[in-house]
Amino acid sequence: MESATTLTTLVILFPLLGFLINGLIGLSSDSFREKKTLIGTIANLAVFIPFAIAVYFFLNMGQGAAPVFAELFTWIEVGSFSVDIAYQLDQLSIVMMLVVTGVGFLIHLYSIGYMWGDEGYWKFFAFLNLFIFAMLNLVMADNLLLLFLGWEGVGLCSYLLIGFWYEDMANAAAGSKAFWYNRVGDFAFLVAMFLTFQYVGSLDFDMVLGNLDAIPADGKFWIGLLMFIGATGKSAQIPLFVWLPDAMAGPTSVSALIHAATMVTSGIYLISRMSEMFVMAPEVMMIIAVIGALTAFVAATIAITQNDIKRVLAYSTVSQLGYMFLALGSGAFTAAMFHVVTHAFFKACLFLGSGSVIHAMEHVEHGLHNEGKDVHFDPQDMRFMGGLKEYMPSTYKTFLLATIAIAGIPPLAGFFSKDEILAFTFNAGFGEFAGSLYLILWGIGIITAFLTAFYMFRLTFGTFNGEFKLPEKISEAAGGEKFLHESPKTMTIPLWTLGGLSVVGGFLGVPNFLLATFTHHEEHINLLHNWLHNVTADFGLTLSHATEWMLMGISIVIAVAGVYSAYRMYGSGATESSDAKLSDWFGGLYQTWKEKYNLDELYEGVVVDPIVRMSDKGLAKFDMKIVDGVVNTVGGVVRLFGSVFRYTQTGVTSSYALAFILGVILILSMLIL
Amino acid sequence: MIGIDWFLALSALLFCIGIVGVLIRKNAIVIFMCVELMLNAVNLSLVSFSSHYGNIDGQILVFFSLAIAAAEAVVGLAIIIAIFRNNLSVDISNINLLRW
């Protein structure tokens, strides 16, 4: 791989070029903005070429091969502190590159159709390219600071894209909210970087991970904890997850990109990258596992009660990310990356599918308006849908495939990755540190698996089964179904590709024991594990094959039970009556879920309001009286002196000359005497 | 032979006349001429010393100061003309825009 440096540069440069071309020319030329095919082609190529190069890297990098470094130039050099713009190609970063550019490309392709009628078409693609550029910096960086550059970059892009339709105040506010919640986490990450530099004297990954002895045990604890807090911001975990559901304000393809391929996976990537340090801090691992399991459960319960299809998916993402953190905390870094990959396939498919549905619903609204009927409804609300499978067969089939995958039905993608996570959590239950706690977390994981299957099928049945409900909800909308139609090819091709990947993606990580049981060969058939084993520090599985079979059996039974209960309640598309039943059964608990545990209100009351009040009452007064007072006093004294001495400025030339001459005489006489 | 004292005394006298002129006259052109007078007083003492010590350096300096005085006169007169065009007067007691 001697040409690695050149190719790496190209991988980084193409998305940046795409951003610059579409952004700058679009900014200055109105006629360029109209050339939508050209803009879309540029943006898609800017992601597809890096994907092709990533595939080349993948084919040329052997399992267990040493990392390749591509050092471009020195970025910062101050004293003993030196940071390069340098990229590291190893098995982990190549997996992430493939996901980011591969899934990212499909989302770009889909956006051509989805955003066609939008006024900001050029701007949208420019931002999307910038997002990919930032994310590639994040996953390819060979040091923490360059990673942080990408980390902040995706934060900026999410702000720009969530608030893409900025003319609506609510969207702009959602963008700001995502930005602010991420800043909280980023602050912790920054402190973790300072600590790392203090102990090791370098921010390069191979230097830090090679000198872990230089960091004392409590240093590892704090660095690990602070990095994890950073990750809770980006990857939307308790307590910082509330921004992600609001991120639905952006265009659907953005949601897909944020939720599946980019931003939210960065926290998992960071911890996997630093896994050798994390395994030495078991307390942090425990905290990560607990937070992950709780997040998975909390988000899943909220997802059951939501009616906005994109919001259900958003909470589902938060929940699945919780699974990934549960894996990280259980020492199953490969399993976490495995779930990142499979989740990227089926969640991207689900989001793009939901976009296709919303697209169709908006067409119904426009069609009715053209008939002169003044009908208004929320095109994302599944209570108005139902029966869509007849009108949108491609969307329905791919959505169903992805739903089966996420629900954990074998042998689709989500089954293997989720099963591996649960097996490792169970395995950690017999470890030296906090064993029984991990068993409880495994229990939470199992319950969440049931909930996942349940809410995902509730969503699918509610959207696609039964009758089209809009006409019965709004009598004016009668006959609206004739406007329903399948989306264009640029949207269905990515859907089918992702749907296919959701089916086969799981075979990347078939557990080893499946082969071992039948052939008595203890061969490693888990491809992803073989691929990543020299980068991530996995704990070994010590369970017997019988236990593993039992765990897998439980996973299957739970998933099937979830699907079956959802079918019993929602199979006919009766969303609202079944929701009412659930509400009756769970009472106050259901209300809490529906109100999202009131976290937003809690933060508003406990954090935001006191700060605003303190600023209003205290700090503003301090600023006006004390700070301004000091500044004005200094100014006043100067003015006072000026008011005396300005009278010497007579403007009469001869008096100046006299003063000048007297001065000369004075100096001369002093020199002579 | 007249001693150097006489030349220096004349130079000092010219210089003082120049100073007094600069201080008490109001016509900008006259002030300007007084400045020239002061310059020439200095030139006179330079030439005197040069001849007294038999050293050429002083005379060379005079050439420089004459050349600079000529250049200065060009700029100074141009400024005075510009002021006159604006004020229709070169009385410096009227030109006091920079007063408090």
Do residue B23 and residue A649 have CB atoms under 8 angstroms apart?
A: no
Quick check: is B98 in a domain? no
Res A579: pLDDT: 86
The yes/no answer to whether this complex scores an ipTM above 0.85 is no
Res A2: pLDDT: 55
Per the CB < 8 A criterion, the answer to whether A52 and A159 are in contact is no
Q: In chain B, which residues have their Cβ closer than 8 Å to the Cβ of A650?
A: 96, 99-100
In A141-216, which residue ranges form alpha helices assigned H by DSSP?
144-162, 169-200, 205-210
Q: What is the mean pLDDT of residues A595-620?
A: 88
Model pTM score: 0.81
B3-59 pLDDT per residue, tens: 889 999 999 999 999 999 988 888 889 998 999 999 999 999 999 999 999 999 999
Give which of A491, A533, A506 is closest to A275, Cα–Cα: A533
The answer to whether residue B100 scores a pLDDT higher than 70 is no
Centroid of chain to Cα A613: 32
- Convert A98-137 into a string of H (helix), E (strand) and C (coil): HHHHHHHHHHHHHHHHHCCCCCCHHHHHHHHHHHHHHHHH
Res A318: pLDDT: 93
Asked whether the bond before A411 is cis by omega within 30 degrees of 0, the reply is yes
Do residue B96 and residue A658 have CB atoms under 8 angstroms apart?
A: no
Per the CB < 8 A criterion, the answer to whether A278 and A284 are in contact is yes
Quick check: is B96 in a domain? no
Give which of A442, A411, A428 is closest to A510, Cα–Cα: A411
Beta-strand (E) ranges in A287-349? none
Q: How many CA atoms lie within 13 A of A26 on its CB side?
A: 24
- Rounded CA separation A209/A202 (Å): 10
The answer to whether residue A483 scores a pLDDT higher than 60 is yes
- Rounded CA separation A233/A321 (Å): 12
Res A529: pLDDT: 85
- Using a CB–CB cutoff of 8 Å, tell me whether B33 touches chain A: no
* Lowest-pLDDT choice from A20-34, A440-454, A511-525: A511-525
- Using a CB–CB cutoff of 8 Å, tell me whether A619 touches chain B: no
Res A644: pLDDT: 87
A656: nearest CA partner in chain B: B23
Res A514: pLDDT: 79
**Residue B39 lies in domain:** 4-91
How many Cβ atoms are within 10 Å of A221's Cβ, its own excluded? 17
Q: In chain A, which residues have their Cβ closer than 8 Å to the Cβ of B24?
A: 654
Structure tokens at B61: 């300096």
A92-136 pLDDT per residue, tens: 999 999 999 999 999 999 999 899 888 889 999 999 999 999 999
Do residue B96 and residue A646 have CB atoms under 8 angstroms apart?
A: no
Choose from B23, B79, B83, B97 for mutation: most chain A CBs within 10 A: B23
Per the CB < 8 A criterion, the answer to whether A384 and A139 are in contact is no
Smallest Cβ distance to B96: which of A646, A652, A657? A652
Res B98: pLDDT: 66
- Rounded CA separation A118/A135 (Å): 25
What are residue A506's DSSP bridge partners? none
A317-358 pLDDT per residue, tens: 999 999 999 999 999 999 999 999 999 999 999 999 999 999
Give which of A317, A292, A293 is closest to A306, Cα–Cα: A317
Nearest CA distance, B26 vs chain A (angstrom): 8
Res A377: pLDDT: 86
DSSP class of residue A625? I
- Rounded CA separation A385/A570 (Å): 13
Do residue B95 and residue A653 have CB atoms under 8 angstroms apart?
A: yes
- Rounded CA separation A243/A234 (Å): 10
The CA-CA-CA angle for residues A608, A609, A610, to 5°, reads 95
A364-388 pLDDT per residue, tens: 888 888 888 888 888 898 888 888 8
- Rounded CA separation A274/A85 (Å): 19
Res A252: pLDDT: 87
Backbone angles phi, psi at A237, to 5 degrees: -110, 165
Residues 6+ apart with CB under 8 A from A121: A33, A36, A39, A115
Res A477: pLDDT: 78
Total domains in the fold of chain B: 1
Q: What is the mean pLDDT of residues A542-553?
A: 88
Structure tokens at A341: 């990959």
- Using a CB–CB cutoff of 8 Å, tell me whether B2 touches chain A: no
The CATH number given to whatever domain includes residue B47 is: 1.10.287.3510
Cα separations in angstroms, A529 against A372, A427, A536: 59, 17, 9
Give which of B60, B10, B3 is closest to B40, Cα–Cα: B10
